[in-house]
């Protein structure tokens, strides 16, 4: 604790930290010795802080040490706040009086592992390095207390704003760092982001991640397009032993071609018939592989099945995700380098008509968190639609609509999935447990002429709204609610047109297509809506249009245009009377 009468040597006093230290030292009545690097900084110390000129020294040479000794009669100083390196550090260390404290806030000599003389320790001195990152990690309560103390000192006027405080846009960041590096900087530099700022960045260069050649990696249900793609990528990154667990014994031509390709790259491939939902079968296969393959060090769990929907079908979809994942967690070795669940973003967004599939995905998300809590490796990648490989690519492009599933996710490329997978399993990255792919911001949908997906209204996705993104496009125009527009209508034909516009937009949102793609001369069902999605559509009519429309009418053969004419007189929001109807 700095006390009245203590002699303190503060280096780099013209900076923000140095000026704060001067303010605090003056408040307790300490005698201040300061160093500067330019004449401008020397003038600042004299004019702004009233430090005696014989107590201010240049940090460009080591004469300051001799001057301090002379002024103090050989006593030295009680405290040194140091950020200098090399000889300046060593001279300052040697200036400490008995029981003096040396506080190091620089990094250069520490990172280069420089040496200092230990002789000053005979005077019962001490040296301490202050590193805020370590403090926040290991002593958060201390950081909290110091922050509160600093706020108190600020409110009391002890700590003041550094002089000068230069405010610049974020686009001037490079120039700011150059100023700091040159030593010309004075006071505090503050960078404020603006909407049109372009801040250059330098991506960190890292060597690619490579798998261990003396380890086995498991791919559960990995013979599909996505699994084969991941297998090829793993082999390109050094994997030499792959164990595929497949529910089917059939080796298709594309699987045989993959085996041949991987064998040419000196990778040993073993395909075992194994239903991972069957614990006994999984244990048997793993025991058999112990004698023929190296130890298992990783698993990619990609087991899935889609179907609509009896109870048996419900459980058939749920079991690979839930029971299969649990069995792999339970019976694979505990010392895996990675355990990746290939889940789906539909677990977060919902999947109309496939609650079982969504539930299975969220179970995997929760199991990954549980494994992490137990000190085990685990990551969940919530995958959307992937271009060129995987389930969606290998089936009808309208499979999602046919199943009542909203295709509201951005497609990602095969190589992007590989990059995400590498990020998840590379121990140098420390990734989050759960990564969701395929989400886009509001502007993306607007650019494509598609209505904003309903999930965008959830607080969880507020950061994807254009309003909350720096540098985004102009804010979305404010839309008048359908109910208010209907209340202003003067004829039933006008009301029907308003309803038709709202209905077309809602159908487009449910099907994730552009509104222009909805044919108003077709029925709702002909445009791709099935009975499951029709329930949500009917709810929309009741909530927004204020009309209770029978399900038979919604799923009937009437065109959208005719249906909207039927809805208009049913709407409680329409105030026009029947005899005010416009011309047909």
Tokens of 177: 């760092």
> In this structure, is residue 401 part of a structural domain?
yes
Separation CA 402–CA 47 (nearest Å): 78
| Residuewise pLDDT in 10s, the chain (584 residues) | 899 999 999 998 888 899 999 999 999 999 999 998 888 888 888 888 889 999 999 988 899 999 999 999 999 999 999 999 999 999 999 999 999 999 999 988 888 888 899 999 999 999 999 999 899 999 999 999 999 999 999 999 998 888 888 898 888 888 888 887 777 778 888 999 888 888 777 777 778 899 999 999 999 988 888 889 999 999 999 999 999 998 887 788 989 999 999 999 999 999 999 999 999 999 999 999 999 999 999 999 987 665 555 667 777 778 888 999 999 999 999 999 999 999 888 788 876 666 788 888 899 999 999 999 999 999 999 887 676 555 444 544 444 433 333 446 677 888 888 999 999 999 888 889 999 888 888 777 766 656 667 677 778 888 887 544 444 444 444 456 888 899 999 999 999 999 999 998 888 777 767 778 888 888 888 766 766 567 778 888 988 899 999 888 888 888 999 999 999 999 999 987 564 444 44
pLDDT at residue number 140: 93
Phi/psi of residue 10, nearest 5 degrees: -115, 120
- Judge if 170 and 151 occupy the same domain: no
- Judge if 487 and 420 occupy the same domain: no
- Judge if 185 and 129 occupy the same domain: no
> In this structure, is residue 445 part of a structural domain?
no
Given a contact cutoff of 8 angstroms between Cβ atoms, the answer to whether 414 and 387 are in contact is yes
Separation CA 325–CA 362 (nearest Å): 12
The structure's pTM equals 0.55
Given a contact cutoff of 8 angstroms between Cβ atoms, the answer to whether 258 and 424 are in contact is no
> In this structure, is residue 52 part of a structural domain?
yes
Counted domains in the chain: 4
- Judge if 433 and 556 occupy the same domain: no
> In this structure, is residue 1 part of a structural domain?
no
Given a contact cutoff of 8 angstroms between Cβ atoms, the answer to whether 253 and 227 are in contact is no
- Judge if 550 and 576 occupy the same domain: yes
CA dihedral 213, 216, 219, 222 (to 10 degrees): 60
pLDDT at residue number 323: 92
Beta bridge partners of 268: 241
Beta bridge partners of 299: 218, 339
- Judge if 239 and 353 occupy the same domain: yes
Separation CA 176–CA 163 (nearest Å): 16
Separation CA 442–CA 318 (nearest Å): 32
Q: What is the CATH number of the domain that holds 487?
A: 1.10.1200.10
- Judge if 250 and 183 occupy the same domain: no
pLDDT at residue number 528: 65
> In this structure, is residue 392 part of a structural domain?
yes
- Judge if 191 and 144 occupy the same domain: no
Q: What is the CATH number of the domain that holds 378?
A: 3.40.50.720
Nearest residue to 325 via CA among 378, 388, 253? 378
Helix, strand, coil percentages for the chain (3-state, nearest 5): 45, 15, 40
Phi/psi of residue 190, nearest 5 degrees: -120, 130
Separation CA 212–CA 71 (nearest Å): 65
Phi/psi of residue 560, nearest 5 degrees: -60, -40
> What element of type H or E holds 23?
helix 16-28
List, as one string, the DSSP characters of 483-534: HHHHHH-SSHHHHHHHHHHHHHHHHHHHHTS-GGGS-TTSBTTTTT--HHHH
Nearest residue to 353 via CA among 100, 531, 126? 531
Helices (H), 59-172: 63-71, 87-94, 108-111, 132-138, 140-155
The DSSP code for 545 is: I
> In this structure, is residue 257 part of a structural domain?
yes
pLDDT at residue number 401: 39
- Judge if 435 and 499 occupy the same domain: no
- Judge if 378 and 497 occupy the same domain: no
What are the CA-CA distances from residue 521 to residues 242, 503, 535, 564 (Å)? 54, 13, 21, 11
> In this structure, is residue 458 part of a structural domain?
no
Segments forming the whole domain that contains residue 299: 216-439
pLDDT at residue number 309: 56
- Judge if 424 and 516 occupy the same domain: no
- Judge if 73 and 119 occupy the same domain: yes
> In this structure, is residue 248 part of a structural domain?
yes
Tokens of 223: 């013979």
Count of H helices and E strands in the chain?
24, 15
């Amino acid at each position: 604790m700095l006390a009245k009468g203590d002699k303190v040597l503060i280096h780099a006093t013209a900076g923000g930290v140095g000026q704060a230290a001067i303010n605090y030292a003056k408040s307790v009545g300490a005698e201040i010795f300061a160093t500067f690097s330019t004449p401008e900084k020397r003038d600042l110390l004299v004019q702004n802080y009233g430090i005696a000129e014989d107590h201010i020294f240049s940090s460009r040479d080591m004469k300051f040490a001799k001057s301090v000794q002379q002024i103090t009669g050989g006593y030295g100083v009680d405290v040194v706040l140091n950020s200098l390196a090399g000889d300046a550090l060593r001279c300052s260390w040697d200036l400490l009086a008995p029981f003096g404290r040396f506080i190091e806030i620089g990094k250069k000599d520490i990172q280069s592992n420089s040496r200092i003389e230990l002789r000053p320790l005979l005077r019962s001195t001490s040296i301490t390095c202050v590193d805020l990152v370590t403090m926040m990690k290991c002593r958060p309560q201390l950081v909290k207390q110091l922050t509160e103390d600093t706020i108190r000192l600020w409110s009391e006027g002890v700590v003041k704003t550094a002089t000068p405080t230069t405010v610049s846009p974020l686009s001037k960041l490079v120039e700011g760092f150059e100023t700091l590096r040159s030593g010309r900087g004075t006071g505090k530099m503050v960078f404020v982001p603006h909407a049109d700022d372009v801040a250059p960045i330098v991506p960190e260069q890292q060597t690619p991640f490579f798998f261990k050649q003396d380890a086995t990696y498991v791919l559960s249900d990995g013979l599909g397009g996505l699994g084969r793609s991941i297998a090829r990528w793993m082999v390109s990154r050094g994997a030499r032993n792959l164990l595929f667990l497949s529910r089917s014994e059939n080796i298709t031509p594309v699987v045989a071609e993959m085996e041949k390709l991987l064998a040419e790259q000196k990778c040993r491939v073993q395909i075992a018939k194994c239903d991972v939902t069957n614990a006994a079968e999984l244990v048997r296969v793993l025991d058999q592989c112990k004698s023929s393959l190296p130890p298992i060090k990783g698993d990619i769990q990609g087991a899935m099945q889609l179907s609509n929907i009896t109870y048996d079908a419900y459980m058939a979809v749920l079991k690979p995700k839930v029971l299969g994942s649990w069995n792999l967690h339970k019976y694979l070795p505990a010392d895996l380098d990675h355990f990746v669940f290939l889940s789906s973003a539909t677990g977060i967004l919902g999947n109309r008509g496939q609650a079982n599939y969504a539930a299975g995905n969220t179970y995997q998300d929760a199991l990954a968190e549980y494994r992490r809590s137990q000190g085990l490796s685990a990551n969940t990648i919530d995958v959307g639609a992937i271009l060129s490989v995987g389930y969606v690519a290998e089936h009808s492009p309208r499979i999602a609509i046919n199943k009542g599933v909203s295709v509201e996710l951005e497609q990602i490329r095969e190589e992007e999935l590989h990059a995400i997978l590498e990020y998840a399993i590379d121990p140098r990255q420390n990734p989050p447990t759960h990564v969701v792919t395929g989400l886009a911001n509001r502007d993306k949908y607007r650019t494509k002429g598609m209505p904003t997906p309903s999930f965008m209204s959830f607080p969880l996705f507020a950061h994807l709204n254009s309003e909350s993104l720096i540098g985004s496009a102009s804010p979305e125009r404010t839309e008048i609610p359908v109910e208010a527009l209907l209340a202003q209508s003067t004829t039933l034909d006008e009301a029907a047109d308003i309803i038709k516009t709202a209905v077309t937009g809602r159908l487009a949102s449910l099907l994730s297509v552009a509104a222009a793609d909805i044919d108003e001369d077709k029925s709702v069902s002909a445009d791709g809506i099935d009975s499951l999605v029709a329930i949500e559509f009917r709810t929309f009519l009741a909530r927004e249009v204020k009309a209770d429309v029978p399900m038979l009418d919604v799923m009937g053969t009437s065109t959208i245009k005719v249906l909207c004419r039927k809805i208009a007189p049913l709407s409680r929001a329409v105030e026009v009377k029947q005899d005010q109807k416009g011309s047909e």
